[in-house]
C-alpha cells in the first residue's frame, strides 16, 4: 500500500510525463464537449464508481476506477472500463496511462455516480496530482436525484442498497465490485431518466441542474 500511495499520489504538479501520456492528454483536451441540450436518448452517459482504501479523498487511496455507458437509452455491454491500481504498485507510468485511458473513455460525457463528494473527490485528487489535470466534469448524483424524482419511495438520501431493493434489481450475494455497481447504477439511471422526462427534465443539462438543485436544497433543509 505504501508503494501504491507513493506512485498514485506523488504530491505537487507532475514534473514529467511519458510522451504517450502527454499525447493522449492532448487528444482528450482537444475533444469536443457534448451538446448537453440534446434529449436523454441522444446523450452518452458514463456511469462511474471507484474502489478506495477508505472514505476520505484527502488521505485515503484510490485503488480502482470502473465505468459503464448508457447510449440511446440502453446500457452498452461492450463499452466498459476498469482500472485496478493495486496491481500497478511501483509502476508510476502505468498509473498515468490508466488514468489517461479513463479520460479518453469518458470523453467529457456527463458522469453519473452515487455521492459525488466521495467519487469525485478521489478522482479530482488523482488527476491533479498525477496528470496536472483539473478534473471538473459535469456530474449527475443519483444519491440526491433519486429522492427528488421518486419521493414516494424515499424522501431523503439513502444507501444505494435501498434503491436496489426499491427497483427490484438483482445485486447478487456478498460484496459487490465496482463494475457491478456501475451496471446497477446504470439501470437505476435508465429508470430515473424516464421519470425525469415526465417532469420535463428531458435533457442532460436539465438533469445536471436538477442534480445540483436537489443537492443544495436537501443539504440546507
Write down the pTM of the prediction.
Answer: 0.91
Q: In this structure, are strands 62-71 and 74-84 parallel, antiparallel, or unpaired?
A: antiparallel
Does domain 2-8+39-219 sit in CATH 3.40.50.720?
no
What is the DSSP code (8-state) at residue 203?
B
CA-CA distance, 118 to 57, in Å (whole number)? 7
In this predicted structure, what is the pLDDT of residue 183?
A: 97
In this predicted structure, what is the pLDDT of residue 5?
A: 52
In this predicted structure, what is the pLDDT of residue 220?
A: 53
Whose cell is 444519491? That residue is: 143
CA torsion, ordered 115, 82, 98, 63, to nearest 10 deg: 60
Averaged pLDDT in 10-residue chunks for the chain of 221 residues: 48 74 96 96 98 96 97 97 85 92 98 97 96 96 96 92 95 85 98 97 97 73 52
CB 128 within 8 A of CB 103: no
In this predicted structure, what is the pLDDT of residue 217?
A: 57
Amino acid at each position: 500500500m505504501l508503494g501504491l500511495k507513493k506512485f498514485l499520489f506523488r504530491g505537487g504538479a507532475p514534473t514529467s510525463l511519458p510522451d504517450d501520456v502527454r499525447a493522449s492528454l492532448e487528444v482528450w483536451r482537444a475533444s469536443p464537449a457534448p451538446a448537453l441540450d440534446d434529449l436523454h436518448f441522444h446523450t452518452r452517459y458514463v456511469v462511474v464508481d471507484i474502489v478506495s482504501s477508505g472514505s476520505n479523498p484527502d488521505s485515503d487511496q484510490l485503488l480502482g476506477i470502473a465505468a459503464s455507458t448508457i447510449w440511446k437509452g440502453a446500457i452498452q455491454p461492450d463499452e466498459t472500463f476498469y482500472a485496478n491500481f493495486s496491481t500497478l504498485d511501483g509502476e508510476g507510468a502505468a498509473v498515468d496511462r490508466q488514468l489517461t485511458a479513463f479520460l479518453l473513455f469518458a470523453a467529457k460525457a456527463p458522469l453519473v455516480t452515487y455521492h459525488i463528494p466521495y467519487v469525485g473527490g478521489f478522482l479530482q485528487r488523482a488527476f491533479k496530482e498525477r496528470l496536472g489535470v483539473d478534473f471538473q466534469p459535469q456530474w449527475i448524483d443519483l444519491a440526491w436525484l433519486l429522492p427528488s424524482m421518486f419521493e414516494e419511495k424515499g424522501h431523503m438520501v439513502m444507501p444505494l442498497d435501498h434503491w436496489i431493493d426499491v427497483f427490484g434489481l438483482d445485486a447478487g450475494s456478498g460484496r459487490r465490485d465496482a463494475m457491478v455497481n456501475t451496471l446497477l447504477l446504470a439501470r437505476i439511471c435508465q429508470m430515473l431518466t424516464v421519470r425525469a422526462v415526465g417532469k420535463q427534465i428531458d435533457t442532460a443539462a436539465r438533469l445536471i441542474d436538477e442534480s445540483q438543485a436537489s443537492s443544495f436544497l436537501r443539504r440546507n433543509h
